[in-house]
Amino acid sequence: METKTTRIGMETEIDKNLKTLAETKATCYCLRETGQCDFDDCLECSKLSLYQQGVRNLLPVDLLKVDNLAAKIIQRKLDNDTSFRATSASRWKYFFNSLKWMAIVFLFAIFIPLAAAYFLCTYALDTKGAVYPIIDDITESKIIRVLDETHKNVYDMNGDHQVNCQDFTVMFIYLWAKIYPDDSKSAQIVFNKNFNTGMNHLFVSVRSGNKVFYIEPQGSYTNYRMEHFWGDRYDPCFNREIRKSFWYAQMGLPYNGE
């Protein structure tokens, strides 16, 4: 089984840099949306120049983290700032009114078939976990709390003289059920064995509504999504859920059927 050690609660310089890049990207979007900046301003913007330099050599997984963080920042602004919502909406309304005939032609000739195909593909992938949705704040706070408790309490549960993914995963599931008993079924044990990448790993899935998030219980609070933690080695197509009762028995824990 795979083991990868990190310390929870520690924000690295890389994490801080990614957060700064995400904040810059979100700020740029908001300024453009509210008409405070235009293309000419972008050409002379020192922050945009630093952002472009910062993302130039990032790995794809880090670019995805920047995009996710930026999207969450923008969403918070949309939720909390009514003036931004109104300004943004009016600019989009003007744009679509100006191009309505072109949009109609594009809609019927190109967009609808492509959108339909994309929707079908996205839905199919999403049900298997291959599309990585942005996590909501409530679910994230619950995951981080259980991650913290897992790192505090994990031990060699099955007596094999190792503390690896088996111990971290079962401890996470066990603590999730104790902390959130009414939501215990939303957390499940997942196994991924991929001969192509050498992945042979146990981890956790957490469901929130119609979204499923795959969690690395050995991760930190800034890096716990499987797709971020393992990068290209992780292929969600090989995910399969494992019965909790089996692993509870392996670890000598009582199973209450949650």
Average pLDDT over residues 182-201: 92
Q: Do 237 and 171 fall into the same domain?
A: yes
Tell me whether residue 16 is exposed, middle or buried, using C-beta atoms within 10 angstroms of its C-beta: 0 to 12, 13 to 18, 19 or more: exposed
Instruction: Residue 73: give the domain boundaries.
Output: 13-98
Instruction: Report if residue 3 sits inside a domain.
Output: no
Q: Do 188 and 236 fall into the same domain?
A: yes
pLDDT at 228 over 80: yes
232: CATH: 3.30.460
List, edge to edge, every strand of the sheet that includes 211-220: 223-225, 211-220, 199-208, 187-194, 239-242
- Sequence letter at residue 143: I
The pTM for the full model equals 0.52
pLDDT at 220 over 60: yes
Note the pLDDT tens digit of each residue in 108-136. Answer: 666 556 665 555 444 444 434 455 778 88
Q: Do 234 and 175 fall into the same domain?
A: yes
The whole-chain average pLDDT of the chain stands at 78
Note the pLDDT tens digit of each residue in 50-67. Answer: 777 777 777 777 777 877
- Residue 233, classed as helix, strand or coil, is helix
Domain boundary among 49, 80, 98: 98
- Sequence letter at residue 8: I
Instruction: Report if residue 6 sits inside a domain.
Output: no
pLDDT at 225 over 60: yes
Token pair for residue 123? 């839905």
Instruction: Report if residue 131 sits inside a domain.
Output: no
Instruction: Report if residue 58 sits inside a domain.
Output: yes
pLDDT at 175 over 80: yes
Domain count, the chain: 2
pLDDT at 197 over 90: no
